[in-house]
């Protein structure tokens, strides 16, 4: 044979696959295979791509085609399933295939050198070899001690490196309550594709449902002599260390790997390789892991499925939750979406029967109860320092009883803006349409949009007044005030500023779990997932701004956040105090709008009620999920240029049945000196919208505009 022509997807904005010639070096060289990685010349560089077709013909002049430099034959080809998933994502989100496939592979696979790959493969081979005697007996002991039956997985035959390092003590599974059992039964009984919406109040034990379902699915496959893999998606791995710990403790005999962007490159590659070879029985990862290659995938779990971090906000702007559901359907396997506050989209799917709802209505731990929610009317309770007297009294009572409190304020920094009373100067960022935020401990003004940093001015830049005032408050200011109020209390602030160093968030949460903190204070970082056992009070400071946001999703997000943060309280059994009175955990929300329906729903822990009214509003306003949207964004030095580009795009093609709105500046119009505008496209039919977008974007690319632009399908921030 003289050679073949192969098609390769490359990480390039050109929406095409590229033809190359392949010639065997020796007569016995096997043909290239679809799904293999290949190193090819591209312009003046050498880049790695994915083989998408192998044939004998090309539309181009065969003599002009360039030769493949090397195939990565040491790695099994990516599976047809994986290729299909990428094709779907590329199609649906309107990106070139190569820009979907390549960025989701670890860096070590995308370089011209195979050093990293070969090292990862060598480590894999070493781990598969029989371990030395003392280690073996420890691992074997762990296996025989295992409290679960899932130890028979094919994957288990390859000991995890973690087992060599330290054998975790297997933790016995608690007896499931009837709700949990019913959920596990429903999930593990599903034949083929089924999407389950696990709607469980905070603390209802959703984790146990995931673990038991994973175990059942793995055991069932093992019984049939098949390999099995489970993918568990979590919003942010750093904020969910407890889940990782639970999974490892429950399945010490299984190879469990994590996949997220904060892993070191070598580690990420090794974990990816373990998933791709089927060694890893459980992959626990953030949104990017939905695109991991997993040949024996049998179950997908999406924990906290409502979480905004499942949406990628740059490059391929995908929803990992939506791709998870698509992937499960394509593989004909079950998927579980879990939340106490599902996304409105998922709730709607459950209502119309596309998803099957599984309810957990009660807290799982013995005698744990949902906290009592109270609203503090801030029109009545003036609080110049941000904390009303009822909230202060509640904090004091917790301190006296040795219980923990949490204060939630979703705004970091000391004050969102600085201001001069004399002349009206305010701390605008000179590069953005935004304020510079006062960061007092760091003695800086910082722009949260462009990261510009300035020293705090000694006097007003305009009039010289030396008495500049902070306006409003962020977590640092509340922290300062709490320390003045309770000098003896151990106060800990957790936000993006206090946890910049790697591992510091983890250390901070550990301190809370060990009981070394009396008052925990923070942004949405403290609201998620944590199972704080000693926390009996949550105070919410100034959540009202979101009620009046122009973003139609702000209410949904606020409600979810408040339900989640409220859910941190009262996770252990209700105490009887020395006076014999029950001490139910409490959530106090400071608001100027105590009659607002959102807060009324919160009082009653009534997600279904909130969702019903939200859906009704969306239906009558013609908003998602009742219409489908795409957003074209453009950036330019001059706002008018961006608007003109969008206006021209709008007139590029007739759009029957599609609404293309007027181009408008984005809410934060200028960021780092760049003006930004957007064009919203809407349609009642997803299929029709998709049918329009494809040729429209092709025509737009033809324009070869020098402006930066991007398209987002199913946008979340409008």
Residues lying near ligand ADP in the complex (CB under 6 A) are found at 174-177, 180, 200, 202-208, 364-365, 531, 571
CB of 244 to Zn ion, least distance (A): 36
380, interface contact from Zn ion, ligand ADP, none, CB < 5-8 Å by kind: none
Beta-carbon contacts of residue 197 (< 8 Å; ≥ 6 apart): 305, 337, 338, 339, 342, 346, 347, 349, 350, 355, 356, 357, 358
CB of 709 to Zn ion, least distance (A): 22
CB of 399 to ligand ADP, least distance (A): 24
CB of 236 to ligand ADP, least distance (A): 15
Beta-carbon contacts of residue 458 (< 8 Å; ≥ 6 apart): 466
574, interface contact from ligand ADP, Zn ion, none, CB < 5-8 Å by kind: none
Instruction: Please state the three-class secondary structure of 193-241 as a single string.
Output: CEEEEEEECCCCCHHHHHHHHHHHHHHHHHHCCCCCEEEEECCCHHHCH
Nearer to Zn ion, 368 or 429 (CB): 429
Output the six-digit token pair for 423.
């002349």
203, interface contact from ligand ADP, Zn ion, none, CB < 5-8 Å by kind: ligand ADP
Structural contact between residues 411 and 474, judged by C-beta atoms closer than 8 angstroms: yes
Position closest to ligand ADP via CB: 205
Rounded Cα–Cα distance for residues 51 and 19 (Å): 10
449, interface contact from Zn ion, ligand ADP, none, CB < 5-8 Å by kind: Zn ion
468 sits near Zn ion (criterion: CB under 5 A): no
Rounded Cα–Cα distance for residues 14 and 10 (Å): 9
Nearer to ligand ADP, 35 or 235 (CB): 235
CB of 531 to ligand ADP, least distance (A): 4
Among 79, 177, 465, 710, binds Zn ion (CB under 5 A): 465
CB of 571 to ligand ADP, least distance (A): 6
Quick one: which of 244, 51, 12, 173 has its CA closest to 20?
51
Nearer to Zn ion, 6 or 432 (CB): 432
Nearer to Zn ion, 313 or 330 (CB): 313
465, interface contact from ligand ADP, Zn ion, none, CB < 5-8 Å by kind: Zn ion
Nearer to Zn ion, 425 or 593 (CB): 425
693, interface contact from Zn ion, ligand ADP, none, CB < 5-8 Å by kind: none
What percent helix, strand, coil does the chain show, rounded to 5?
A: 35, 20, 40
Nearer to ligand ADP, 158 or 563 (CB): 563
CB of 456 to Zn ion, least distance (A): 14
180, interface contact from ligand ADP, Zn ion, none, CB < 5-8 Å by kind: ligand ADP
Nearer to Zn ion, 224 or 455 (CB): 455
Task: Report in angstroms the alpha-carbon separations of 646 from 442, 661, 668.
Answer: 41, 10, 17
Instruction: Please state the three-class secondary structure of 482-511 as a single string.
Output: HHHHCCCCCEEEECCCCCCCCCHHHHHHHH
Rounded Cα–Cα distance for residues 273 and 355 (Å): 32
Residue 419, strand partner residues = 426, 469
463, interface contact from Zn ion, ligand ADP, none, CB < 5-8 Å by kind: Zn ion
Calculate ∠ Cα 223-123-252, nearest 5°: 40
Task: Report in angstroms the alpha-carbon separations of 236 from 74, 240, 282, 344.
Answer: 32, 7, 17, 21
Residue 560's SS3 state is: helix
Task: Report in angstroms the alpha-carbon separations of 421 from 142, 366, 473.
Answer: 68, 56, 17
CB of 467 to Zn ion, least distance (A): 9
Q: What is the DSSP letter of 63?
A: G
CB of 562 to ligand ADP, least distance (A): 15
Nearer to ligand ADP, 181 or 465 (CB): 181
How many positions of this chain bind Zn ion (CB under 5 A)? Answer: 15
CB of 451 to Zn ion, least distance (A): 7
Nearer to Zn ion, 311 or 419 (CB): 419
176, interface contact from Zn ion, ligand ADP, none, CB < 5-8 Å by kind: ligand ADP
658 sits near Zn ion (criterion: CB under 5 A): no
Consecutive H or E run containing 341: none
Task: Report in angstroms the alpha-carbon separations of 404 from 88, 255, 412, 585.
Answer: 48, 36, 21, 10
Say if residue 507 is exposed, middle or buried (CB neighbours under 10 Å; 0-12, 13-18, 19+).
Answer: exposed
Nearer to ligand ADP, 268 or 530 (CB): 530
531, interface contact from ligand ADP, Zn ion, none, CB < 5-8 Å by kind: ligand ADP
449 sits near Zn ion (criterion: CB under 5 A): yes
Consecutive H or E run containing 440: none
Scan residues 416-435 and list those touching Zn ion (CB under 5 A): 420, 422-423, 425, 429, 431-432
Question: Which span sits near Zn ion by CB under 5 A: 51-59, 186-194, 385-393, 454-462?
Answer: 454-462
CB of 513 to ligand ADP, least distance (A): 11
Rounded Cα–Cα distance for residues 343 and 347 (Å): 6
202, interface contact from ligand ADP, Zn ion, none, CB < 5-8 Å by kind: ligand ADP
Rounded Cα–Cα distance for residues 645 and 711 (Å): 13
Rounded Cα–Cα distance for residues 508 and 529 (Å): 15
Nearer to Zn ion, 297 or 434 (CB): 434
Nearer to ligand ADP, 49 or 205 (CB): 205
Calculate ∠ Cα 121-127-128, nearest 5°: 90
Nearer to Zn ion, 452 or 485 (CB): 452
Residue 709's SS3 state is: strand
Nearer to Zn ion, 220 or 431 (CB): 431
Structural contact between residues 697 and 632, judged by C-beta atoms closer than 8 angstroms: no
498, interface contact from Zn ion, ligand ADP, none, CB < 5-8 Å by kind: none
Q: Verify cis geometry, omega within 30 degrees of 0, for the bond prior to 625.
A: yes
For residue 71, which phi and psi values (nearest 5 degrees)?
A: -100, 145
431, interface contact from ligand ADP, Zn ion, none, CB < 5-8 Å by kind: Zn ion
Among 100, 450, 492, 666, binds Zn ion (CB under 5 A): 450
CB of 364 to ligand ADP, least distance (A): 3
Output the six-digit token pair for 619.
């239906």
Nearer to ligand ADP, 202 or 678 (CB): 202
Rounded Cα–Cα distance for residues 378 and 591 (Å): 5
119 sits near Zn ion (criterion: CB under 5 A): no
Task: Report in angstroms the alpha-carbon separations of 110 from 48, 294, 397.
Answer: 5, 19, 57
CB of 441 to ligand ADP, least distance (A): 33
The residue assigned the tokens 């044939």 is 55
Rounded Cα–Cα distance for residues 530 and 85 (Å): 32
CB of 591 to ligand ADP, least distance (A): 25
Nearer to ligand ADP, 72 or 372 (CB): 372
Structural contact between residues 48 and 8, judged by C-beta atoms closer than 8 angstroms: no
69, interface contact from ligand ADP, Zn ion, none, CB < 5-8 Å by kind: none
462 sits near Zn ion (criterion: CB under 5 A): yes
429, interface contact from ligand ADP, Zn ion, none, CB < 5-8 Å by kind: Zn ion
CB of 176 to ligand ADP, least distance (A): 5
Output the six-digit token pair for 490.
């151990």
The residue assigned the tokens 């998408």 is 52
CB of 460 to Zn ion, least distance (A): 3
Binding residues vs Zn ion (CB under 5 A) = 420, 422-423, 425, 429, 431-432, 447, 449-450, 452, 460, 462-463, 465
């Amino acid at each position: 044979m003289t050679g073949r022509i192969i098609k390769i997807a490359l990480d390039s904005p050109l929406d095409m696959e590229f033809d190359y010639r392949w010639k065997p070096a020796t007569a016995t060289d096997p043909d290239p295979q679809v799904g293999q990685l290949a190193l090819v010349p591209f312009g003046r560089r050498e880049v790695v791509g994915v083989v998408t077709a192998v044939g004998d013909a090309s539309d181009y002049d065969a003599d002009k085609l360039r030769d493949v430099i090397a195939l990565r034959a040491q790695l099994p080809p990516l599976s047809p399933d994986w290729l299909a998933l990428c094709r779907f994502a590329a199609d649906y989100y309107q990106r070139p295939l190569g820009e979907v496939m390549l960025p989701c592979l670890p860096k070590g696979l995308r370089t011209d050198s195979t050093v990293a790959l070969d090292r990862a493969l060598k480590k894999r081979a070493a781990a598969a070899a029989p371990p030395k005697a003392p280690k073996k007996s420890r691992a074997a002991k762990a296996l025989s001690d295992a409290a679960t039956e899932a130890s028979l997985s094919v994957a288990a035959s390859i000991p995890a490196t973690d087992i060599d390092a330290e054998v975790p003590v297997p933790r016995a599974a608690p007896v499931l309550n009837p709700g949990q059992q019913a959920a596990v039964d429903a999930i593990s009984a599903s034949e083929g594709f089924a999407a389950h919406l696990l709607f469980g109040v905070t603390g209802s034990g959703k984790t146990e449902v995931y673990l038991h379902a994973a175990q059942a699915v793995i055991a069932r496959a093992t019984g049939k002599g098949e390999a099995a893999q489970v993918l568990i998606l979590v919003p942010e791995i750093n904020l969910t260390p407890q889940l990782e710990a639970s999974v490892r403790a429950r399945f010490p005999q299984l190879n469990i790997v994590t996949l997220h962007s904060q892993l070191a490159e070598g580690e990420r590659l090794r974990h990816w390789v373990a998933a791709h070879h089927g060694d890893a029985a459980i992959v626990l990862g953030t949104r990017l892991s939905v695109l991991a290659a997993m040949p024996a995938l049998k179950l997908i779990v999406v924990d906290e499925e409502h979480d905004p971090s499942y949406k990628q906000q740059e490059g391929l702007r995908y929803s990992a939750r939506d791709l998870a559901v698509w992937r499960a359907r394509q593989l004909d396997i079950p998927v579980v979406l879990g939340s106490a506050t599902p996304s409105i989209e998922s709730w709607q799917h459950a209502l119309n029967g596309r998803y099957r709802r599984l309810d957990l209505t009660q807290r799982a731990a013995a005698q744990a109860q949902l906290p009592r929610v109270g609203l503090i009317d801030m029109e009545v309770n003036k609080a110049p320092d941000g904390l009303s007297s009822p909230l202060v009294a509640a904090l004091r009572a917790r301190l006296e009883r040795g219980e923990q409190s949490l204060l939630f304020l979703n705004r970091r920094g000391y004050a969102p803006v600085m201001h001069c009373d004399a002349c009206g100067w305010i701390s605008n960022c000179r590069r953005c349409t935004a304020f510079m935020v006062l960061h007092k401990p760091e003695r800086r003004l910082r722009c949260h949009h462009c990261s510009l940093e300035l020293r705090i001015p000694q006097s007003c830049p305009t009039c010289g007044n030396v008495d500049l005032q902070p306006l409003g408050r962020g977590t640092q200011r509340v922290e300062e005030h709490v320390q003045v109020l309770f000098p003896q209390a151990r106060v800990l602030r957790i936000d993006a500023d206090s946890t910049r160093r790697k591992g510091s968030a983890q250390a901070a949460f550990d301190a809370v779990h060990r009981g070394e903190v009396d008052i925990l204070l923070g942004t949405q970082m403290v609201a998620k997932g944590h199972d704080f056992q000693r926390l009996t009070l949550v105070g919410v400071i100034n959540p009202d701004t979101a009620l009046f946001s122009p973003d139609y999703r702000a209410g949904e997000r606020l409600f979810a956040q408040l339900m989640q943060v409220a859910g941190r309280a009262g996770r252990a059994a209700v105490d009887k105090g020395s006076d014999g009175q029950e001490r139910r955990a409490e959530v106090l929300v400071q608001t100027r709008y105590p009659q607002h329906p959102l807060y009324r729903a919160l009082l009653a822990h009534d997600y279904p009620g909130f969702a019903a009214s939200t859906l009704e509003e969306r239906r009558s306003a013609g908003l998602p999920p009742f219409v489908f949207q795409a957003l074209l964004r453009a950036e330019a030095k001059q706002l008018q240029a961006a608007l003109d580009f969008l206006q021209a795009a709008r007139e590029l093609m007739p759009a029957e049945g599609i609404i293309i709105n007027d181009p408008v500046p984005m809410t934060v119009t200028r960021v780092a000196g760049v003006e930004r505008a957007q064009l919203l496209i809407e349609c009642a039919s997803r299929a029709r919208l998709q049918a329009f977008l494809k040729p429209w974007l092709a025509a737009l690319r033809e324009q070869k505009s020098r402006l930066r632009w991007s398209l987002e399908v199913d946008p979340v921030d409008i």
